[in-house]
Amino acid sequence: MVKDFLPINKEDMKKRGWQQCDFVYISGDAYVDHSSFGTAIITRLLESRGYKVGIIAQPDWKKKESVTILGEPRLGFFVSAGNMDSMVNHYTVNKKHRKTDAYSPGGKIGLRPDYATIVYSNLIRQTYKKTPIIIGGIEASLRRLSHYDYWSDKVKHSILIDSGADIISYGMGEHSIVEIAEALDAGIDVKDITYIKGTVYKTKSLEHIYDDYIELPCFDEIASDKKKYAQSFYTQYLNTDAFSARILVEKVKEKMYVVQNPPAMPLTQMEMDDIYSLPYMRDYHPVYKKMGGIPALSEIKFSLTSNRGCFGGCSFCALTFHQGRIIQTRSHENIIQEAQVMTRDPDFKGYIHDVGGPTANFRRPACDKQLSKGACVNKQCLFPKPCRNLVVEHKDYISLLRKLRKIPSVKKVFVRSGIRFDYCMQDSDDTFLREICEHHISGQLRVAPEHISDKVLSRMGKPERAVYDNFIKRYKRINDKTGKEQFVVPYLMSSHPGSTMKEAIELAEYVRDLGYMPEQVQDFYPTPSTLSTCMYYTGYDPRTMEKVYTPVSHHEKEMQRALIQYKKPENYELVKEALLANNRSDLIGFGPKCLIPPRKLRSRNNENNRKR
């Protein structure tokens, strides 16, 4: 096997002695051959199975020739928008263009189209009418059935319909991609590949489905009836576990159905180890060097993926739909081996930036039952209270961190993925938090309470405020013993469904009492396939079908965010308007409990204050 980047042009193919690729992978990201990038994992995995794979990264979507530079592949095209949904990549929550793109050379914006998966697939079809197209990645995965699209403010068909692709490989994709490749290589027509877990396909007839399936409301119903949409979404939500999920069928047009097979099984530890041991170059392609490199790589080049999946179940997170709720881990030996390779990189300065995943301190399934029966269909592991079957265990993670600290050339190992504080609070042993405070943070520990109103937290799927308050007390007690001045930095979210102005003002008062203004504030962003987005669009909590108040006007969302950052001079008018409109003039004044003074200070005084 050649130790090099995969071919990106005909010259690279010639060097390898290839006349034709088996597969061509088209990506909305620049080509980075690192295991934190989905393109690298899928292409290296296919290569390890003997397939010839070429890569076209960020083709010019205005030119149909851009997807033909490697010629027609023998078996098919794989298409992905990249590590992010292209719309999230391009736009802020206020639907304004972002200024940079971390996955493009030099951070340049605009090198991929909106709805990139659809555009690339349609571009392929202009030249190659019958070549199989398999779409995957986060954009395709979360749009696999009819969904609400925030940017157009419409319900859209499954991305399979709009893209003209043949199959969606949803979730992380390793199992399904290999099975699809083997089926195509065996000569099976792409239209007959209807049996693979972790895939979605379209069909004109349901006669071939022998298993019991659930028929969802048709597209026309959910597009015209928000209550039907919420009910359909919740059915999908209850069928995201590989052990218990059933086949879902959605009629999208007359005599046209989209069929979702159950998710692929979680990876075993051996499979995880194999995937992270593939011969990645651990760098961006050299063609980008003169363009300033790829910014996203600097964030993760010296980080280690320890796990996948999350049983936290936050309503605003799409992990349930994408990676699933069952934790999958790599072995200590495999992670340490990668760390040792990392230390030999000329750019390594002695610091491992992170050891984690979606949640750093999840290193085993929530309970032993999940290993054979999967996650509970209609129960959460941590919400509203931790399940009595929850197994709380930090010893394995502590052991891993200690081993990494002992590697020669490693000065410090950081934990930056974020820890689940409610899970920590179920552990009566202080060892984990003590180790974190002593060795794995530098001044700040980032955690995500998201809000402090129990009413809003219940919609978020987060623990009640008292749990966070008790965690802060425990952290302070443990950290004080280290003699280090280190703080907890909370991530907070504004405008989540359930948050009225009353709750937004409560959050502002909490920030006031913190004594400093958090920099990490996120407006709720309605991305496809989350419970929170369903609430935002429909006005119903799909779990209970209760009506939910949701801030939808741009102005109200601006006020809710401004309240959290009330000290910023540019937010003064918005904060004042919010307080007066909600009869909270008691928070306008010069007292210790006030958020803003009764009038703006003169600009000269502001300048003097800044100089001080």
The pLDDT value recorded for residue 610 is: 52
Rounded Cα–Cα distance for residues 230 and 542 (Å): 5
The pLDDT value recorded for residue 602 is: 43
Question: Rounded to 5 degrees, what angle do the CA atoms 372, 377, 379 make?
Answer: 110
CATH 3.40.50.280 fits 10-202, yes or no: yes
The pLDDT value recorded for residue 442 is: 84
Judge whether 23 and 64 are in contact, CB under 8 Å. no
pLDDT, averaged in runs of 10, over the chain (612 residues): 89 97 98 97 98 98 96 98 97 96 97 98 96 98 98 98 97 97 98 97 93 95 98 97 97 94 97 98 97 95 96 94 96 98 96 95 96 92 96 97 97 93 97 96 90 97 96 97 92 96 97 84 94 98 97 95 94 96 96 90 49 49
Residue 47 φ then ψ, to 5°: -60, -40
Say what the pTM is.
0.94
The pLDDT value recorded for residue 600 is: 62
Which residues have C-beta within 8 Å of that of residue 462, sequence separation ≥ 6? 314, 383, 422, 449, 450, 451
Residue ranges covered by each domain of the chain: 10-202, 447-452+482-612
Stretch (H or E) spanning 523: strand 521-523
The residue written with tokens 């069929």 in the block is: 259
- Establish whether the linkage from the previous residue to 384 is cis, with ω within 30° of 0: yes
